[in-house]
Amino acid sequence: GLDQILSLHDFEAVARMTMSRRGWNYYSSGADDEITMRENYNAYQRVWFRPRVLRDVGKVDYSTKILGFDSSMPIYITATALGKLGHPEGEVCLTKAAHEHNVIQMIPTLASCSFDEMVDAAAPGQVQFLQLYVNSDRSRTRKIIKHAAERGVKALFITVDAPQLGRREKDMRTKFEGNASAHQTKGGDKVQRDSGAARAISSFIDPGLNWKDIPELREAAGKMKILLKGVQCWEDAVLAAEAGVDGIVLSNHGGRQLDFAPAAITILPEVVQQLHHRGLLHKADGTRFEIMIDGGVRRATDVLKAVALGATAVGIGRPMIYAMSGYGTEGVSRALQILKDEFEMNMRLIGAPKLEDVNPSMVDISALRTPNVGPTAYATNYELMMPAGI
Ligand code: HOC
């Protein structure tokens, strides 16, 4: 049962054993040889702490603000598509658990639940962000943005790492039989039903999207914050800051798009440094150009490493979907509680009473660029990870 789940890994083990083959193949797959997907996880093992002692850690506070909005911890539930492949209630489970734990949910464009269902499931005042794929038919995109603003969404995350779908062979081997017609483009492009869930839902996305489109999207966003999700090098981080967006997510889409894209944590230090050198980290109004990262996060220690290196917050995707798949809202809630417990303990052990204390001096990144040698702790042996009695 749920009480035997001790870590985010355990949810993955349960999901693998209990999910439909289609669901598992969709969520767990990465692009090509899944090198980037594994590297996302492995890279965190090359960042070590420099713990401090005697710092009065009787009380620790890991609450923070993300884009100015309160969050109980420096994480958010990032967008993942097709939640009902995991659980019949779909993404509203994420919405409800996010509220219980005061964390922010990023609503996915390609969710199984409708956008309105996810907003309706939110508690009064609950902050939600929206991840957005830009449609080849821009009037549709403008309509979505307008509706999001009317429904109180606080920030838009424009996905920029997916001009075309990555090749996830595990997913492609499962035939998609869902009703994908809603996602057909206006021009009548055929949805390819015979090659995986991802391909069936992605044909409307505009590969022509480019930097010149950003001002218009910025304008359409109005009072909502706007960020680019899927930046993968410092040059583009600089262009994003110069384009006047509110921040970026360094992300390779969970290793599902370009294989051999770098893990976000490995490029975070140079992104922060280059923005800092150009005076782009702080905006004229005193707010920060926020840098978030995602991919491969399974532990609060991973998040603390990212925070130490300058990330505002870290997106967690697959682990939340796995928790939801096994146990619905309760599972996601448990996953978030596990992370809170891990934050509390690890902030004590590194000697950081507050998140502001988690700065670059608290990590040693000398091994960051050295590839892992030999087997890593990446848990591919799911039988070993499986908690007893499940
Ligand atoms: C070209 C569009 O984010 C996934 C989802 C959907 C991908 C659409 C990509 O499967 O990673």
Atom of ligand 1 at shortest range from CA of 207: 1
Residue 368: φ, ψ to 5°: -55, -40
Task: Tell me whether residue 161 is one of the annotated catalytic residues.
Answer: yes
In this prediction the ipTM stands at: 0.95
Atom of ligand 1 at shortest range from CA of 163: 1
- How high is the pLDDT of residue 386? 53
- How high is the pLDDT of residue 301? 98
- How high is the pLDDT of residue 268? 98
The residue among 139 and 194 whose pLDDT is bigger is 139
Give 58 Cα–ligand 1 centroid separation in angstroms. Answer: 44
Give 132 Cα–ligand 1 centroid separation in angstroms. Answer: 11
- High-pLDDT (> 70) share of the chain, %: 89
**Ligand 1 proximity of 110 Cβ (cutoff 6 Å):** yes
Place 156 in a pLDDT band, splitting at 50, 70 and 90.
very high
Of 133, 259, 302, 327, which is the active-site residue?
A: 133
Average pLDDT, the chain: 91
**Ligand 1 proximity of 16 Cβ (cutoff 6 Å):** no
**Ligand 1 proximity of 164 Cβ (cutoff 6 Å):** yes
Does residue 70 have a pLDDT over 50? yes
**Ligand 1 proximity of 198 Cβ (cutoff 6 Å):** yes
Atom of ligand 1 at shortest range from CA of 110: 6
Atom of ligand 1 at shortest range from CA of 164: 1
Give 250 Cα–ligand 1 centroid separation in angstroms. Answer: 16
Q: Give the distance between the most distant pair of CA atoms in the chain.
A: 65
Give 198 Cα–ligand 1 centroid separation in angstroms. Answer: 6
Place 31 in a pLDDT band, splitting at 50, 70 and 90.
very high
**Ligand 1 proximity of 202 Cβ (cutoff 6 Å):** yes
Domains along the chain?
2-370 (3.20.20.70)
**Ligand 1 proximity of 25 Cβ (cutoff 6 Å):** no
**Ligand 1 proximity of 79 Cβ (cutoff 6 Å):** no
- How high is the pLDDT of residue 190? 43
> By the 8 A CB rule, do 246 and 226 touch?
yes
Of 27, 44, 161, 246, which is the active-site residue?
A: 161
Task: Tell me whether residue 33 is one of the annotated catalytic residues.
Answer: no
Residue 54: φ, ψ to 5°: 55, 50
Ligand 1 mutation target, pool 165, 258, 318, most atoms within 8 A of CB: 165
The residue among 179 and 66 whose pLDDT is bigger is 66
- How high is the pLDDT of residue 183? 41
Place 202 in a pLDDT band, splitting at 50, 70 and 90.
confident
Give 286 Cα–ligand 1 centroid separation in angstroms. Answer: 35
**Ligand 1 proximity of 165 Cβ (cutoff 6 Å):** yes
In this structure, the residue with its CA closest to atom 10 of ligand 1 is 198
- pLDDT single digits (tens) 314-341: 999 999 999 999 999 999 999 999 999 9
Atom of ligand 1 at shortest range from CA of 133: 2
Give 276 Cα–ligand 1 centroid separation in angstroms. Answer: 32
Q: What is the 3-state secondary structure (H, E, C) of the chain?
A: CHHHCCCHHHHHHHHHHHCCHHHHHHHHCCCCCCHHHHHHHHHHHHCEECCCCCCCCCCCECCEEECCEEECCCEEECCCCCHHHCCCCCCHHHHHHHHHCCCEEEECCCCCCCHHHHHHCCCCCCCEEEEECCECCHHHHHHHHHHHHHCCCCEEEEECCCCCCCCCHHHHCCCCCCCCHHHCCCCCCCCCCCCCHHHHHCCCECCCCCHHHHHHHHHHHCCCEEEEEEECCHHHHHHHHHCCCCEEEECCCCCCCCCCCCCHHHHHHHHHHHHHHCCCCECCCCCECEEEEECCCCCHHHHHHHHHCCCCEEEECHHHHHHHHHHHHHHHHHHHHHHHHHHHHHHHHHCCCEHHHCCHHHEECCCCCCCCCCCCCCCCCHHHHCCCCC
Task: Tell me whether residue 183 is one of the annotated catalytic residues.
Answer: no
Give 81 Cα–ligand 1 centroid separation in angstroms. Answer: 7
- pLDDT single digits (tens) 82-141: 999 999 999 999 999 999 999 999 999 999 999 999 999 999 999 999 999 999 999 999
